Structure 1
Amino acid sequence: MPRALFARYPALAALLAQLLASLVVLALLVMVVQLSPWRPAALLAGLLQGLLAATLGRYLGLAPWWWWLNLAFVPGLLLASGAALPGWLFLLGFVLLLLLNWNSLGERVPLYLTGAGTRRQLSQLLAERGEHFRFVDLGCGPAGTLLALARQFPQAQFVGVETAPLSFAIAWLRALLQSNCRIRYQSLWRTDLADFDLVYCFLSPAPMAELWRKARAEMAAGSWLISNSFAVPDVPPQRLIELSDWRQSSLLLWCMPGAGLSTADTALPAG
């Protein structure tokens, strides 16, 4: 039950990791003070707390970007406390982080950015569909990948959906001058997948089973669901493309039934 709860609300798991790590470090400091004359520096204690919080976060099932946040949070506060920085700056940083990662609270989807190598491979997959297709990026973030693909395939139509307010604003502004690309402030769960030939997502493990049910109910036979790195539980992809990057990414592709359709069978005719 706790694992399921933390998968749905990762911020709660991160908070728990911070509190537990702080309690452990506090207990260690009390022991050191009582048993020896050594007094560790505050930054050293903060680094130890960060390491413990990151380790606990990993154990609790948090995504890698949360590990780094847990690691840096207390040391960052300690470093900033010695600088002449206005208090509102910390509030602004928190608000910006929240606006960029709003999806992690409700939809269990943090902000992930598609790497350049993954983008190139994705472009090769899209080329198999000809020139005319409809593509949606579920959770497009600031739309870097979406816009790059829209420029490469000017005859195709591209849509990005996003509900993190700051990410949406950035994506919407960037897409204004790209005529074949549109950004919607819309949840992926309210997006009708029947409108698209290719559905791309870079989400998290948590929503993949539910997304698969939605895709099966809405997507047309022969259309493709492409996931960056995250699998659908108990449903092997028809194509798995391993990518040699630092986070060991992969592209997983499912062709929607009626099927036994091969990639060649599902390719859209050019023009």
Structure 2
Amino acid sequence: MDWDEFYRNADYDRCIYLRGEAMVDYLERFLERFGPFERVASVGCGPGGVLFALASRYPDTEFHGIDISEQVVADNRERAAERGLENLTFAVDALPALETDERFDLVYSAATLFFVPDTAAAVADLYAHVADGGYLVINYPDPECPARFDQWLEGRRREAFDLVLAGENVLSSADIRECCDTEPRDYWDAVDAAEDESFLVAKTPMVYLEKSGTAPEL
């Protein structure tokens, strides 16, 4: 998938809508219930709809967007500057192994692991970038996703999800537990999203993991 090409031709408002406008409200609930958080990172942030909304609501929190696409990062930086959001920054980086050695109180990654080949390594890396006492929130393809996506996806959209459709990057909750040595808990329940019938919520799992103890060196 050529993400720079994708974002050069994308309608960002449409991209944000497809990710779910409710995702902003869900993450805000998580911030209120599990925070406060000084530093929040969104990995695979895309056009940054969640980040732009929350950065304006939480001016004392640092928000960091990370994405593989230089195009979307450049566009996001310009939009953040235009809006005067000094607490919002963006950087180019990619899973399964981020180059940054920074840690964050909350690492959030939604609708991203579906496009990563080695999801187990990616989850372990994301967790390694969580500060002691912080949280990781991830949305991921589970073993039931290939059949669900096969029924849902049509045309060119199928190409983007070829890894999931082939079952090559699926994870179970047990896999995540093993990657992080921590019990994953249901994010949708934590943010009262059970009644949401959107595809992302109804058909794909999302969990959060708390990091306790001393974080190892990256």
Name the TM-score, length of structure 2 as normaliser. Answer: 0.60
1:201 to 102, 109, 117: 109
Aligned mate of 1:181, from 82, 88, 94? 88
Distance 1:96-1:235 versus aligned 2 partners, 3 A rule = closer
Q: Name whichever of 233-242 and 133-142 sits farther off.
A: 233-242
Q: How many residue pairs align between the two structures?
A: 158
Q: Distance in 2 between matches of 1:98 and 1:174?
A: 15
1:226 corresponds, among 134, 137, 152, to 137
Identity fraction in percent: 25
Measured after TM superposition, the shift of residue 216 of structure 1 is: 4.3
2:186 aligned residue: 239
Q: Could you say which residue in structure 1 is the equivalent of 2:209? A: 254
CA distance in 2, matches of 1:97, 1:226: 25
Which of 151, 156, 159 is the matching residue for 2:56?
Answer: 151
5+ long unaligned stretches in structure 1:
1-9, 12-94, 102-110, 260-271
- Residue by residue over 1:86-122, the C-alpha shift from the partner in whole angstroms, topping out at 9 and shown as x without a partner, is xxxxxxxxx8437579xxxxxxxxx885311122111
Instruction: State how 1:1-271 maps to structure 2 within 5 Å.
Output: 96-97=5-6, 99=8, 114-176=19-81, 177-188=84-95, 189-192=98-101, 194-202=102-110, 203-205=112-114, 206-230=117-141, 232-233=171-172, 234-235=175-176, 237-241=184-188, 243=193, 244-249=196-201, 250-258=205-213
Query: Equivalents in 1 of 2:52, 2:120: separation in Å?
Result: 28
The CA distance in 2 between the partners of 1:119 and 1:98, in whole Å, is 21
How far apart are residue 152 of structure 1 and its match? 1.5
Secondary structure at the aligned position of 2:40 is classed as strand
Contact 1:131–1:153 under 8 Å retained in 2:
no
Larger radius of gyration: 1
Distance change in 2, residues 1:207/1:148 (3 Å): farther
Tell me the TM-score normalized by structure 1: 0.50
Q: Does the CA contact (< 8 Å) of 1:228 and 1:251 recur in 2?
A: yes
Distance 2:37 2:187 in 1: 24
Distance 1:216 1:137, change over 3 A: closer
In structure 2, relative to structure 1, the CA distance for the partners of 1:122 and 1:159 (3 Å cut) is same
